[in-house]
Amino acid sequence: RGTAERYPEGLHMLPSEQQGLLLQWLCRAFQVKTALELGTFTGYSTLCMALVGVRVVSIERSAGQAAVAREFLERAACRLEGLRPGNINNNSSNNNSNNNSSNNNSNNNNSNNNDNDNNNNNNLLGLMDLRVGDARALLPALQAEGQHFDLVYIDADKKSYPSYYNLALRGGLVNPSGILLADNVLFRGHVLARHAAEPPAQAEQGSPGDARNQRIAAALDAFNCLALAGSQTEGVILPGKDGLAVAWHREAREEQSGHETPSSKTS
């Protein structure tokens, strides 16, 4: 509801409840503990992953959008965990003050402090790390930090999908047994139309909007070739809504099966 009120024109960018459930299922099925998300929007996917115990680093290019996401995520955490907004980031200091005023026993204070630290590490906001900036600049920074992820979820600038893929894979950000997800890879049918024998006629063909759609479709088509049938990864497209690509390292699949997959054999 908050997204509809704040961004009515962008409501189509919000994942559906079914997509959120699918994302949570994939996190459980692949035993995901850490995830990198490119494109936060209002934080719905971020929250879905955190709710199943995944630590999420989410990158949002727009500072204004990131501020809205922080607001929504804090409100969600308050509602789900029964916390007051003023206390979410200050549990330790507030509790320490209460403990000191009510009980001067140092052993009790140490025990309470340890409990507070554990609570801070495990609450929803503690699982979500929202960063602002261009992912193409921030991904190398994550690599420099030595970060690795069990899942990388791409839902950002569509024309940059191939760049995101190369930065994530070549930078070693995806763990060997991890998976890569990318949303909207069919792009309203424009990607499939590129492979049709007779591309469907479009009323807006030749317009600026059509040229933009074709550029996006070309970039997504290149991404699909890289992610689903490239030298490093393979995968599938789940056709629901606008297409979700699910890709994994070839080596991981071949090690699990004990033999090469047909598409990975060389002549």
- b/e 14-37 (16+ beta carbons within 10 angstroms → b): bbeeebbebbbebbeeeebebbbb
> Other CB atoms closer than 10 Å to residue 116's CB: what's the count?
17
Q: What homologous superfamily is domain 2-83+123-264 in, according to CATH? A: Vaccinia Virus protein VP39 (3.40.50.150)
CB 42 within 8 A of CB 72: yes
User: What residues does CATH 3.40.50.150 cover in the chain?
Assistant: 2-83+123-264
- b/e 121-131 (16+ beta carbons within 10 angstroms → b): eebbbbbbebe
Per-residue pLDDT of the chain (267 residues; tens, 9 = 90+): 454 455 545 545 566 789 999 999 999 999 999 999 999 999 999 999 999 999 999 999 999 999 999 999 999 988 887 655 543 333 333 344 444 444 444 444 444 444 443 344 458 889 999 999 999 999 999 999 999 999 999 999 999 999 999 999 989 999 999 999 999 999 999 999 998 876 656 545 556 678 999 999 999 999 999 999 999 999 999 998 899 999 999 986 666 656 565 554 433
Q: What is the pTM of this model?
A: 0.76
How many CA atoms lie less than 13 Å away from 241 in the CB half-sphere?
16
Residues linked to residue 247 through DSSP beta bridges, in sequence order: 180, 235
Rounded Cα distance, 246 and 46, in Å = 18
Strands 128-132 and 149-154 turn out to be unpaired
Rounded Cα distance, 19 and 174, in Å = 22
State the pLDDT at residue 14.
60
